[in-house]
Amino acid sequence: MKTRILGSEGLEVSALGLGCMGLTFGYGPATDLSDGIALIRAAHERGITFFDSAEAYGAANEEMLGEAVAPFRDQVVLATKFGFKDGNPAAGLDSSPARIRLVAEQSLKRLKTDVIDLFYQHRIDPNVPIEDVAGTVRDLIAEGKVKHFGMSEAGVANIRRAHAVQPVTALQSEYSMFTRELEDTIIPTLEELNIGLVPFSPLGKGFLTGKIDAGTTFKEGDVRANLPRFQDEAREANANLVKHIGEIAEAKQATPAQVALAWLLAQKPWIVPIPGTTKISRMQENAGGADIELTKADLDALSDLLAKVPVTGERYTPAMQAAIDR
């Protein structure tokens, strides 16, 4: 797989990464340890070198990732995140310097490593000046415990303020053909400052795979059951949009998921999507998206489609959206 560079300090990663959240968090019961390890190792064999975790996904997530990559740790880039009280998103935010340092030490142990390659602030904490957050990560970098600083779902003002203290290597935020709000001000800012973009949910939380329709039901614990975009009427309307994307994919002898990932890769050379899955077959399919070359005609057709058939429903509930910094 081809590689890409994130940020001004030359962090080289595979063009597509693997988001590990769904292995233990957000989409129902956790994956068995052995199955998760097998998936991560199969991804590495396929050329994926960029793996994304977080304290908030539970200790088991980082432990699974650490064990999986131990035989080839020097060949991969590990990203994890801090920013919630006791690592629990439901408990609220905590990016105090003491908390950041504690999370770093715990993550190092769970990942079985002596350095975190990319350490993200998971969400902006309005109670802690962003300069203090960036300064704490800067100190951890100086101590050799962290290599690069990242932010997640941050707005332009906080990105600029943090970047002035410690260069931001990457912003991780939701971006896909289904969620394009970054295009107005965030992406131009990242380009100006030479900050990479790591889109999470690049397949619209599974919608852009073409496998979700009006009859789909979700397992207990699956966050999508409560999201506006996945409610009955919205789901039916959005399935129609994905059907049209599928027609374009079929002409490319590709799947809708592969076209969705290829579309992201075509937007900027410093965009690195991190699709997640629990299945090796889906990981292999997603990885194939890096091999799809979309022509100008393909991109124009997709642009026209997205303009004509808008996405129905918000991506988050109002309470979840309130935690996003714009």
pLDDT at 59: 97
Catalytic residue among 57, 120, 175, 316: 57
Q: Could you tell me if 211 and 199 are in contact, meaning their C-beta atoms sit under 8 angstroms apart? A: no
Topology annotation, domain 3-204+267-292? TIM Barrel (3.20.20)
Instruction: State which H helix or E strand residue 79 sits in.
Output: strand 77-82
CA 306 – CA 286 distance, rounded (Å): 21
Phi, psi dihedrals of residue 72, rounded to the nearest 5°: -140, 35
Tens-place pLDDT, residues 181-212: 999 999 999 999 999 999 999 999 988 998 88
pLDDT at 223: 86
pLDDT at 98 over 80: yes
Average pLDDT over residues 65-76: 98
Average pLDDT over residues 150-154: 98
pLDDT at 214 over 80: no
Q: Could you tell me if 233 and 312 are in contact, meaning their C-beta atoms sit under 8 angstroms apart? A: yes
- 120 is known as an active-site residue: no
Is residue 116 classed exposed, middle or buried when 0-12, 13-18 and 19+ CB atoms within 10 A define those classes? buried
CA 121 – CA 170 distance, rounded (Å): 11
Domain boundaries, the chain: 3-204+267-292
Prediction pTM value: 0.95
Q: Tokens standing for 11?
A: 């962090």
pLDDT at 137 over 90: yes
Residue 50: strand pairing partners = 77
Residue 157 Ramachandran class (φ > 0 left, ψ -120 to 50 alpha, else beta): alpha
Average pLDDT over residues 145-171: 98
CA 60 – CA 29 distance, rounded (Å): 12
Tens-place pLDDT, residues 251-290: 999 999 999 999 999 999 999 999 999 999 999 999 999 9
Average pLDDT over residues 223-231: 88
Question: Residue 92 CB: number of other CB atoms within 10 A?
Answer: 13
